[in-house]
Structure 1
Amino acid sequence: MPHWLQLMAESLPTLLWAGLIFTIPLTLLSFVFGLALGLVTAVARLFGPAPIASIARFYVWVIRGTPLLVQLFVIFYGLPSLGILLDAFSAALIGFTLNIGAYSSEIIRAVISSVSKGQWEAAYSIGMNWRQAMSRTILPQAGRVAVPPLSNTFISLVKDTSLAAAITVPELFQAAQRIVATTYEPLILYIEAALIYLVLSSVLSALQVRLERRFARYGGMLEANA
C-alpha cells in the first residue's frame, strides 16, 4: 500500500471521530439556535417598535460587516479581558449562532415580506389574530420559499466550522492539524480533511434537492386545491 494511502487510512478514524463529536454537533446546534435568533430578529425588524427594530438592524449590520474569524476571536480571546471566560466550544457556538442569526434573519425577513398582503387579510377575515396569522398562514408559506437559501446557509456552516480550529475547538480540521504536527505530511492530511468536508457537503446538497422537490409538490397541491 502506498505511504500516502496508508496514512490516510490510519488518520481517517481520528478525523471522523472529531467530526462526529465536535463538527456535527457544533453545526446542528449553531444552526438551530441561529435560525431561532434569525426569526426573532426578522420579526423585530418587520413588526417591532422603532427602538427594537433599530437594535436588530444594528446587530445584523455588525455581524454581516465583520469577518466570522474576527468574531470568534473577540468572543474567545477578547471577552476574558472583561472577566467573561468561555470554553472553546461554547465560544464557537455563540459565534456561529450570532453569525447564522444575522444572515438567516435577512432570508426570513425577505420571505415573510414576499407573502402577499392578501394572505394577512384572509387570515384576519376568519378571525385570526396576528400571532395566529403568522404561525398558521404566513410562516408556512414563507418557509417553503426559505428552504433553498437556508439550506445553502446550513451547508456553508458545515464548512465554516473549520474556523473553530483557530480557537482550539478539537473539531475535524484541528484534528487534521494535530496529525500533521506529528507526521509532517500537511498535503495528504489537508486533502483528506477537504474530502471529508466535500462528502458532507455533497450529501447535504442531495438532501436539499429532495427537500426542495417535496416542498414544490406540496406547494403544487395547495395551489391545485385553492
Structure 2
Amino acid sequence: MSAVDIFFNLSVLERALPMLLRGLWYTLSLGVTAIVLGSALGVMIAITRLYAPKPLRLLAVLYTDLVRAVPVLVLLILLYYALPFAGITLSSFAAAATALTMVLAAFTAEVVRSGIEATPKGQFEAASALGLGFWVTMRKVILPQAIRIVIPPHASNCVSVIKDTALASVVALSDLLKQATDAQALFANPSPLIGAALIYVAILWPLVRLTGRLERHAKRAYTR
C-alpha cells in the first residue's frame, strides 16, 4: 500500500467527511463562544484592575496572573472532572467554553489594560471637562482609541483560542479532532486525521495572515 493510500485515501476521506463537518461545527461554535465571552469579560477585568477599589484591583491581578499561569488543558480537566466532586457538573461543551473563556479573558485583560494605559491622559481630562461620566468616557473616548493598539495582539490571542479548541476532545466533546480520531479508528486509516489537519489550516492560515497584516498596519499607524 502506497503512502497516498495510507495518508490521503480519498475514499476514506469521502466517507469521513460528514463526521469531520459535524466536528467542525462544534469547533467553530466553541471558538466563537469563547471569543465573544472572553473578550467582553477581559475588558471588564481590565477596567476593574485599573479603576476599581483596591480589593477588587487585587482580585483582578490575582485572576489574570493565576489563569495565565495554568495550562489550558489543566484548567479544562479541573472544570470537567473535579467540579462534580463539589456538586457542580458541566457538560463537555460548557466545560470547554468556560475554560477557554477564562483563559482568553485573562490575556484580553492584559492587552486592553496596556491599550488604555497608552491612551494620553489628556483624553480623560478633556472628557471630564465636557461633563462626561466614567462609563461614557470609556465607551466613547478611551476604548475607541485603545482599539488600535489592542486589535493586533487580541487577534493573535483569538487565533490561539481557536487552536486550543482541539483540547476539548479530552472531555469527549465531539469537536473536529475528536471526530477525526473516531473516524480514524472506524476506518482503520489515518486519512481523517490528515483531513482534519487540512481543515484547521484552511481556517487558521487566513486568520494568521490577517493578524500579521493588522500588526503591520498598527505599526505604521503608530510611527506616523
What are the Cα deviations for residues 33-80 of structure 1, in whole angstroms up to 9, with x where unaligned? 111110111111111111111111111111111110000000000000
For residue 202 of structure 2, the aligned residue among 199, 204, 207 is 199
> Hey, what's the Cα distance between the residues in 2 that align with 1:103 and 1:12?
35
For residue 162 of structure 1, the aligned residue among 146, 162, 166 is 166
Is 2:96–2:168's contact at 8 Å kept on the other side of the alignment? yes
For residue 85 of structure 1, the aligned residue among 70, 80, 89 is 89
For residue 107 of structure 1, the aligned residue among 96, 111, 116 is 111
Trace 1:1-226 onto structure 2 (pairs within 5 A).
Answer: 3=5, 4-20=9-25, 22-186=26-190, 188-208=191-211
Is 2:23–2:174's contact at 8 Å kept on the other side of the alignment? yes
Is 2:30–2:97's contact at 8 Å kept on the other side of the alignment? yes
> Hey, what's the Cα distance between the residues in 2 that align with 1:176 and 1:125?
59
List gaps (5 residues or longer) in structure 2: none
SS at match of 1:169: coil
Query: Relative contact order: is structure 1 or structure 2 higher (C-alpha 8 Å, sep ≥ 6)?
Result: 2
Is 2:152–2:218's contact at 8 Å kept on the other side of the alignment? no
> Hey, what's the Cα distance between the residues in 1 that align with 2:201 and 2:13?
16
> Hey, what's the Cα distance between the residues in 2 that align with 1:69 and 1:142?
31
> Hey, what's the Cα distance between the residues in 1 that align with 2:198 and 2:41?
31
Instruction: Give, in angstroms, the shift of residue 181 of structure 1.
Output: 1.6
Counterpart AA for 1:155: V
What are the Cα deviations for residues 147-171 of structure 1, in whole angstroms up to 9, with x where unaligned? 1111111111111100000001101
Shifted more, 121-130 versus 148-157: the winner is: 121-130
> Hey, what's the Cα distance between the residues in 2 that align with 1:127 and 1:207?
39
Instruction: Give, in angstroms, the shift of residue 189 of structure 1.
Output: 2.5
- Using structure 2 for the length normalisation, give the TM-score: 0.89
What are the Cα deviations for residues 198-226 of structure 1, in whole angstroms up to 9, with x where unaligned? 11012323554676789899x79xx9xxx
Paired residue total: 217
Q: Alignment RMSD, CA only?
A: 2.2
Counterpart AA for 1:37: L
Counterpart AA for 2:22: W
> Hey, what's the Cα distance between the residues in 1 that align with 2:219 and 2:126?
23
Instruction: Give, in angstroms, the shift of residue 185 of structure 1.
Output: 2.1
Q: Relative to structure 1, is the Cα distance of residues 216 and 135 closer, same or farther in structure 2, using a 3 angstrom cutoff?
A: farther
Instruction: Give, in angstroms, the shift of residue 133 of structure 1.
Output: 1.3
Q: Percent identity?
A: 35
